[in-house]
């Protein structure tokens, strides 16, 4: 499920691409969706500032990542899919919800909420990375998720405050890494992904951390691997 195209006002493109690569490697068939709604605003990514008087549509922008093969989120049903995955990017907090503006008092797009609740009710796995775990924390009461660390640690975790917001939303936050730490866990992926086995919610910090791209890629791979494992196929 995409939220636009571009980290500051839509889907984080590297995260979406990493998810697609790992799903392809895992043998999964993929269909992409996005809500057919206007973006909260448009950011000029070369300046990091809003582009005044410009508006874009979330579905239309998401089609850039999907290479045109995308459908309205309203058409996504649990009957047609074994799992659902949400990349991060500020679009998750601006277009899929109002978290960027309202924090713990945020509202979630009605189709996003429907999809999360439907997959949860059907016992089908949900994967989320970066900022998108806030969606599960808001919609699925008591869900266990990770956005990494709970302290900024000198700027390494610039969005660490999100962990506190997750707790205020009613979720449980679990501290995880983006890179492998030592001593190495027997199951290495446990260090940078969290699996809530009760709710079948799998999360990883991704770009919540300032680190090298290959570490983001590996963490997302662990998330995708566990989502696929939970499908039982």
- CATH number for the domain harbouring residue 89: 3.40.50.880
Active-site choice (5, 129, 130, 174): 130
Structural domain includes residue 3 = no
> pLDDT tens digit string along 40-80?
999 999 999 999 989 999 999 999 999 999 999 999 999 99
pLDDT of residue 189: 60
Known active-site residue 130:
yes
Structural domain includes residue 43 = yes
Report, as an integer, the average pLDDT of 205-231.
Answer: 95
Structural domain includes residue 6 = no
Owning domain of residue 135: 13-231
Structural domain includes residue 4 = no
As a whole number of angstroms, the distance between CA 190 and CA 224 comes to 13
Closest CA to 50 of 88, 20, 90: 90
Q: Is the pLDDT of residue 134 over 80?
A: yes
Structural domain includes residue 103 = yes
| pTM for this model (two decimals) | 0.95
Structural domain includes residue 186 = yes
Report, as an integer, the average pLDDT of 171-177.
Answer: 95
Report which secondary-structure segment, H or E, holds 128.
strand 126-129
Closest CA to 70 of 82, 83, 57, 79: 57
As a whole number of angstroms, the distance between CA 6 and CA 190 comes to 29
Structural domain includes residue 214 = yes
Please state the domain count of the chain.
1
Structural domain includes residue 5 = no
């Amino acid at each position: 499920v995409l939220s636009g195209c571009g980290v500051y006002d839509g889907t984080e493109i590297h995260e979406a691409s990493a998810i697609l690569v790992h799903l392809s490697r895992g043998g999964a068939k993929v269909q992409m969706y996005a809500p057919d709604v206007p973006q909260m605003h448009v950011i000029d990514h070369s300046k990091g500032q809003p582009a005044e008087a410009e508006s874009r549509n979330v579905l239309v922008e998401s089609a850039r990542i999907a290479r045109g093969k995308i459908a309205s989120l309203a058409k996504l049903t649990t009957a047609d899919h074994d799992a659902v995955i949400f990349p991060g990017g500020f679009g998750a907090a601006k277009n899929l919800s109002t978290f960027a503006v309202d924090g713990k008092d945020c509202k979630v797009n009605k189709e996003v909420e429907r999809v999360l609740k439907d997959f949860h009710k059907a016992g089908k796995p949900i994967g989320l990375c970066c900022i998108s775990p806030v969606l599960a924390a808001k919609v699925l009461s008591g869900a266990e998720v990770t956005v990494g660390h709970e302290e900024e640690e000198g700027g390494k975790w610039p969005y660490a405050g999100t962990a506190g917001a997750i707790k205020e939303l009613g979720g449980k936050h679990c501290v995880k890494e983006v890179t492998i730490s030592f001593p190495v866990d027997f199951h290495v992926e446990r260090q940078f992904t969290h699996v809530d086995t009760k709710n079948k919610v799998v999360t990883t910090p991704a770009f919540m951390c300032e680190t090298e791209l290959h570490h983001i890629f590996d963490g997302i791979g662990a998330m995708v691997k566990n989502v696929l494992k939970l499908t039982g196929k």
